[in-house]
Amino acid sequence: MPLLYSAKKYETNRLTEKCKDYLNTKLSIDNVCVILQHAYKFDESELEEKCLEFVFENGENVLKSDGFSSLPKEVLQKIIESDNLNADDLSIYDACKRWAVEQQKQKCKKQKYPGTELRQELGEIVYSIRFPTMSLETFAKRVAVEDILTPEEKVSVFQSLAGVDTKTLLHRFRNTNRKRVQKQHLKLSRFDSIHGKSWLYSGYSPDAINFKVSNQARLVGVSLFAPSSAGKVEGEVSLKVGTTTLASRSDLRIKYEQSKYVEDVLFDQPYTVEPGTYYTIYALLKGAQTYSGNIGNQRISSGTFDLSFFSSNASKNFTSVEKGQIHSLILEVSTTA
């Protein structure tokens, strides 16, 4: 972030873009709120949008992170009011309270912070918390006993939860459920069966395959063919766009085990792949001969998710759509409930 600040300050556009590209690939639960805060501060709308997408998808965990309580109020509002925030509204309520306490601490450190003061800190953000979607028991035990809401607002929510038609303050609270995202792990194979037992490696001729996806997904890693006889294969595997490396694993080592044909290799950091972009899986290996595949599938579908493979000019060890190394892609696909 300091480098991005300097690049913006001195109007070094190329360095600014490099910094943003790097930060896009390094988003995590622990750092996304810090990056989001600076993206907002520097008016980097594209980076801010990427951060918000990550926050929405990983809502439950991000709400509990240390950085969440330091977000600017305007950014907090964007997050809480979104239909796409993947979290239940009790968790959202608790996170908003922690945020308000942190703001109060910066003004005046004391032992306790009354609910009325936290409400004043939150202001209109309270109306983005969907209390009418909570269960009656949850609202009664966790919200109604506190002073964040006014007595009139509590009555209004109770009336809604009881199914009473009311024209009071209820219209200020939304009663529609958020879109809950479910994550599905897919392991999609290029080959239906194992064919060869003697795929060779020189240590300097890479195996590579191109692919594209129909929907946004996180690429977690790949499955590589394992040694077919005593020994091991080692090297590196990476995800690339052109010559740019987006994710990698540089210390892979796959040992021979009887009846083991493939081994999952997870990247150091998963990467979000987008539809419309051609990506390359690039494996540079050396060591023992491995199994390989033949008669590869060019397109694989799972539900509404499609994965298409294409031969790559980066492949110098004869891997192609039809044959070779790189057995499967391991992906995390989000579906909306």
pTM recorded for the entire structure: 0.64
Domain boundary among the residues 172, 201, 234 is at 172
DSSP string, 44-58: -HHHHHHHHHHHHHT
Whether the predicted pLDDT of 175 surpasses 90: no
Q: Are residues 222 and 279 in the same domain?
A: yes
Whether the predicted pLDDT of 15 surpasses 80: no
Partners of 307 in beta bridges: 213, 300
pLDDT at residue 8 in the model: 46
Q: Are residues 188 and 168 in the same domain?
A: no
Residue 143 domain-assigned?
Answer: yes
Q: Are residues 66 and 203 in the same domain?
A: no
Residue 313 domain-assigned?
Answer: yes
Residue 102 domain-assigned?
Answer: yes
Range of the domain at 126: 2-172
**What is the strand order of the sheet 262-273 is part of?**
181-189, 328-336, 217-225, 262-273
| Structural domains in the chain (count) | 2
Residue 108 domain-assigned?
Answer: yes
Whether the predicted pLDDT of 3 surpasses 70: no
Domain boundary among the residues 134, 152, 172 is at 172
Task: Band the pLDDT of 7: cuts 50, 70, 90.
Answer: very low
pLDDT at residue 141 in the model: 96
Task: Band the pLDDT of 11: cuts 50, 70, 90.
Answer: very low
pLDDT at residue 10 in the model: 37
Q: What is the rounded CA–CA span in Å between residue 299 and residue 239?
A: 19
- 281 and 239 Cβ atoms separated by less than 8 Å: yes
Residue 82 domain-assigned?
Answer: yes
Domain boundary among the residues 172, 203, 229 is at 172
Q: Are residues 192 and 165 in the same domain?
A: no
Weakest-pLDDT range from 6-20, 41-55, 93-107, 242-256: 6-20
Share of the chain above pLDDT 70, in %: 90
For 303, half-sphere exposure in the C-beta direction (CA atoms, 13 angstrom radius) is: 9
Share of the chain above pLDDT 90, in %: 66
Task: Band the pLDDT of 168: cuts 50, 70, 90.
Answer: low
Q: Are residues 166 and 210 in the same domain?
A: no
pLDDT at residue 337 in the model: 62
> Which one-letter DSSP state was computed for residue 15?
H
pLDDT mean over 168-184? 75
Residue 117 domain-assigned?
Answer: yes
pLDDT at residue 208 in the model: 97
Residue 177 domain-assigned?
Answer: no
pLDDT mean over 60-65? 93
Whether the predicted pLDDT of 9 surpasses 50: no
Query: In whole numbers, what is the pLDDT of the chain averaged over residues?
Result: 88
pLDDT mean over 200-222? 94
Q: Are residues 106 and 53 in the same domain?
A: yes
Q: Are residues 197 and 161 in the same domain?
A: no
Q: Are residues 213 and 125 in the same domain?
A: no
Whether the predicted pLDDT of 6 surpasses 90: no
pLDDT mean over 44-70? 91
Q: Which residue matches tokens 């790949």? A: 222
Q: Are residues 109 and 219 in the same domain?
A: no
For 6, half-sphere exposure in the C-beta direction (CA atoms, 13 angstrom radius) is: 6
Q: Are residues 149 and 228 in the same domain?
A: no
Q: What is the pLDDT of residues 118-153, one digit of tens each?
A: 999 999 999 999 999 999 999 999 999 999 999 989
Q: Are residues 12 and 150 in the same domain?
A: yes
Q: What is the rounded CA–CA span in Å between residue 232 and residue 40?
A: 48
What is the CATH classification number for the domain harbouring 273? 2.60.120.820
Residue 52 domain-assigned?
Answer: yes
Q: Are residues 128 and 186 in the same domain?
A: no
Q: What is the rounded CA–CA span in Å between residue 270 and residue 171?
A: 42
pLDDT mean over 303-314? 94
pLDDT at residue 46 in the model: 85
Q: What is the pLDDT of residues 248-293, one digit of tens each?
A: 999 999 999 998 999 999 998 888 899 989 999 999 999 999 999 9
Q: What is the rounded CA–CA span in Å between residue 175 and residue 294?
A: 54
Q: What is the rounded CA–CA span in Å between residue 197 and residue 199?
A: 6
